[in-house]
A and B are shown apart, each in its own frame.
Chain A
Amino acid sequence: MTAIQLKNVSKTQGSFQLKNIDLNIERGFITGLIGENGAGKTSLIHLILGLKKPDAGDISLFGDHAVEAHREALLNRIGFVFSEDRFPEKMTVPQLKKILKRFYEDFNAPQFEHYIRKFKIREKQKFKNYSTGERMKLSIAIALSHNAELLVLDEPTSNLDPNFRIEFLEILQALMEDENMTILFSTHITSDLDSIADYIVMIDEGKIVFHEEKDLLLEKYKKLKGPVEILDAQTEDLLTGIKKTAVGFEAISDEHRALEELYGSQILTEQLRIDELMHHLKKGKDV
């Protein structure tokens, strides 16, 4: 069962283009969307939320292809967070709450108030007096307060302080105890995804570079360290992103098993981080 499906979707906006995007976001899992700024993450999210229409291709949400006709019903099931706040500056929490109550069929006011208190959001202040972190918290509180079964989060952690970031990731994981819950999470702080993401989608220049189970990705690619002496033309063929220093070399390889067999304990194999992997794959493509 897919929560979000894009088939051959294209969209041109000015000089930027999303090209033939095929994407299946599995229901019941956390998918991380990574890519550099301007890679097309936000455009993709705007398409999913029905804010933009694709030039070509088909989008379906929860298996429903009539996204335009059922826009209201579908958006009721989605909680969203934008990378930048889009709140009316002069409003306050109580005013916004009244609006949200009317818009969301299933708006859970007590839960919303619970999050407002838990996140220490100032109720009486106008939004223009909020810090970026506080705006983001408000955004998150809204997304979590109408019983959504799909969360589409665009860079939700970028303006959060580290403490709250951890709290937020824990909340997301608690939500995932419900197997109908799906989270699509775009971020450039990829350490958010190292632990909790099930799938990783990497997008670059409007195209999907890969869409893979995170565990499989991290098993495939490893960081290798070893003495410079063992590097020769053949070994270097199996390695990318080689960095040589006085104390040895460091590189990334998807042939780490072969190299381990060849060199045994001379080589140290380490788990990669997602940002290292992203950097590596991006560079590999540019070469």
Chain B
Amino acid sequence: MFKLNIKISNTMDVPIYEQVKDEIIRLIMSGELGPGDALPSMRRLAKDLGISIITTKRAYQDLEGAGYVHSIVGKGTYVSEQNTELQKERILNEIEGHIEAMLLASRQINLSREELDEMISIIEEDMT
């Protein structure tokens, strides 16, 4: 059966459906969910996570809208095939944009690469 490694938090300010969405994207990106893999039914996932059906419905709809998954009427929701590479590229593009902005900002105060690297490490540590 389905074994989805999803963690959500009720205390975080990120809406639950966003958390579900992000977790599934993470699983797809990390390869834990491959193209063609079935996602649990909305109702099943809602039950397993102890959240409402509408919340899971919304996460699935968003995922479908972004092309990560597709649903087959009467069968279920599946991880989309062709899109994984595209998605990765899209996220890479997004990261490139952020890096550009970051470098531009650090140039204004003459921040060195070492200092920048150090800052990244510190923030990374804080996040985990």
Contact = CB atoms under 8 A, between A and B. Distances in A.
**Binding partners A and B:** yes
Interface of A: 28-30, 169-170, 173-174, 176-179, 194-199, 213-215, 218-219, 222, 269-271
B52 A215 contact: yes
B62 to A, nearest CB: 12
A194 B13 CA distance: 14
Contacts of B47: 170, 173-174, 176-177
Interface residues of B, number: 19
Interface in B43-98: 43-44, 46-47, 50-55, 58
Contact of B50 (A177, A195, A213, A215): A195
A32 B75 CA distance: 29
B66 to A, nearest CB: 18
A30 B12 CA distance: 23
A176 B16 contact: no
A29 B53 contact: yes
B11 A271 contact: yes
Contacts of A29: 52-54
18 contacts: A28-B53, A29-B52, A30-B53, A173-B47, A176-B43, A176-B46, A177-B43, A177-B44, A179-B43, A196-B52, A198-B53, A198-B55, A213-B54, A214-B54, A215-B15, A215-B58, A218-B15, A271-B13
B10 A195 contact: yes
Pairs of residues from A and B, 4 with the lowest C-beta to C-beta distance, nearest first: A198-B54, A173-B47, A198-B52, A177-B43
Interface in B1-22: 10-13, 15-17
B41 A177 contact: yes
Nearest to B47: A173
A218 B15 CA distance: 9
B58 to A, nearest CB: 7
Contact of B55 (A28, A215, A271): A215
Contacts of A28: 53
A168 B1 CA distance: 24
A176 B47 CA distance: 8
A123 B65 CA distance: 53
A176 B17 CA distance: 18
Contacts of B58: 215
Given A179-B43, A196-B52, A214-B52, 5 more contacts: A29-B52, A170-B50, A176-B53, A177-B43, A195-B10
A215 B17 contact: yes
Nearest to B49: A195
A196 B41 contact: no
Contacts of B12: 271
A174 B47 CA distance: 6
A219 B15 contact: yes
A199 B44 CA distance: 18
Contact of B13 (A30, A169, A176, A269): A269
Given A28-B53, A176-B46, A195-B51, A270 B15 contact: no
A179 to B, nearest CB: 6
Nearest to A273: B10
Contacts of A214: 52, 54
